């Protein structure tokens, strides 16, 4: 099973262009269902709208589960202003300054789609003195819709209403030097890696040692994507999500991140050590790190009472929850570690 990063990047590009803020992920989940169908992988949809695929292994008494999430950060129309512009409420944990100037799409409840731009109300430098000192927050930020709206009534008659979802343009780019820049690499980069590995397992007829489930969750950004629908036979639960980069962090864009602890406490030491041993055995570049302001679907599962060994790995992502970037090397090292893990004994 040789990892093909071009295919992973192709999946990332397709995924990030499917709008899927938490709460409005049907299109992305539909994309995953089609993928599983094409690759003859059995799956079921959960009541919460996630999808869980299963590949039977030699041991069907003890199972593994890997998860990654297709839901992303986004917004929701909070108010239609008197001039037809929109105030939005944020979906997921991020800051207003990270979306200033970003193109967006308003998904009206009646099915109509409108484009716009997220801006400070006081953006015009020739009009607003001291605009640079104003706080980027829900009071000052708004969506300028690309329609001839002069009033709240104009927007309402066009079908826009409070509760409509707002998604942000991904701006995907792949550089010649191997960098992938895009919004929503959290966590669509990890989903793409799992897709590539699943396809290889099916095409090459690889027999896994244990029955393995792949949960594509759809509510991770709001805290409860993978805390249910865990088969009773599951003994190991591995979340595949981004590694965050910043001052004081070991994680980089060129290796796989293995998380030792996040806001929910330490991950299972035995599983973490097992992952490190696999990385060293297979010459996989890795970094062990701690994320104090981070929570994964594995954390959510443990908090919900799941009796599993839990872990977290993922590609290193720069500028998390903003305009993100990773490198092809990190994608490959993450895929190589997942491959080695799937073929290894249980902890």
- Please state the domain extents for the chain: 5-72+184-342, 74-168
pLDDT at 60: 96
Whether 5-72+184-342 shares its CATH topology with 74-168 is answered no
Six token digits for residue 132: 């640079």
pLDDT at 1: 78
pLDDT tens track for 13-26: 999 999 999 999 99
pLDDT at 129: 86
> For the residues 90-96, what does the mean pLDDT come to?
97
CATH tag, 74-168: 2.40.30.40
Positions marked active-site: 220
As a whole number, the mean pLDDT across the chain is 97
Whether the CB-CB separation of 310 and 252 falls below 8 Å is answered with no
pLDDT tens track for 181-235: 999 999 999 999 999 999 999 999 999 999 999 999 999 999 998 898 899 999 9
- The topology under which CATH files domain 5-72+184-342 is Aminopeptidase (3.40.630)
For the cut 90, the answer to whether the pLDDT of residue 164 exceeds it is yes
For the cut 90, the answer to whether the pLDDT of residue 51 exceeds it is yes
């Amino acid at each position: 099973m040789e990892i093909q990063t071009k295919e992973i990047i192709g999946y990332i590009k397709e995924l990030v262009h499917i709008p899927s803020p938490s709460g409005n992920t049907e299109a992305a989940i539909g994309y995953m269902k089609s993928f599983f169908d094409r690759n003859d992988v059995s799956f079921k949809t959960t009541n919460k709208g996630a999808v869980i695929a299963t590949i039977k292994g030699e041991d069907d008494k003890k199972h593994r589960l890997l998860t990654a999430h297709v839901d992303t950060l986004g917004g929701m129309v909070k108010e239609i202003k008197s001039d037809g512009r929109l105030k939005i409420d944020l979906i997921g944990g991020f800051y207003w300054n990270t979306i200033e100037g970003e193109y967006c799409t308003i998904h009206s409840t009646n099915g109509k789609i409108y484009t716009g731009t997220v801006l400070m109300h006081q953006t015009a430098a020739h009009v607003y003195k001291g605009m640079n000192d104003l706080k980027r927050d829900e009071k000052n930020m708004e969506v300028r819709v690309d329609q001839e709206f002069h009033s709240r009534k104009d927007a309402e008659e066009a079908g826009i209403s409070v509760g409509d979802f707002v998604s942000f343009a991904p701006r995907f780019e792949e550089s010649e030097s191997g960098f992938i820049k895009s919004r929503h690499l959290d966590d669509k980069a990890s989903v793409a890696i799992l897709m590539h590995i699943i396809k290889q397992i099916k095409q090459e007829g690889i027999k896994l040692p244990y029955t393995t489930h792949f949960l594509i969750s759809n509510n991770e950004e709001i805290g409860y994507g993978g805390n249910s629908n865990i088969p009773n036979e599951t003994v190991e639960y591995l979340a595949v999500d981004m590694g965050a980069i910043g001052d004081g962090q070991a994680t980089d864009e060129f290796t796989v991140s293995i998380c030792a602890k996040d806001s929910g406490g330490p991950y299972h030491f035995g599983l973490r050590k097992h992952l490190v041993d696999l990385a060293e055995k297979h010459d996989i570049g890795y970094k062990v790190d701690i994320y104090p302001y981070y929570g994964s679907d594995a954390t959510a599962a443990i908090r919900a009472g799941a009796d599993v060994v839990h872990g977290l790995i993922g590609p290193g992502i720069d500028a998390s929850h903003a305009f993100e970037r990773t490198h092809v090397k990190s994608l490959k090292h993450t895929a190589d570690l997942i491959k080695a893990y799937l073929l290894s004994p249980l902890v």
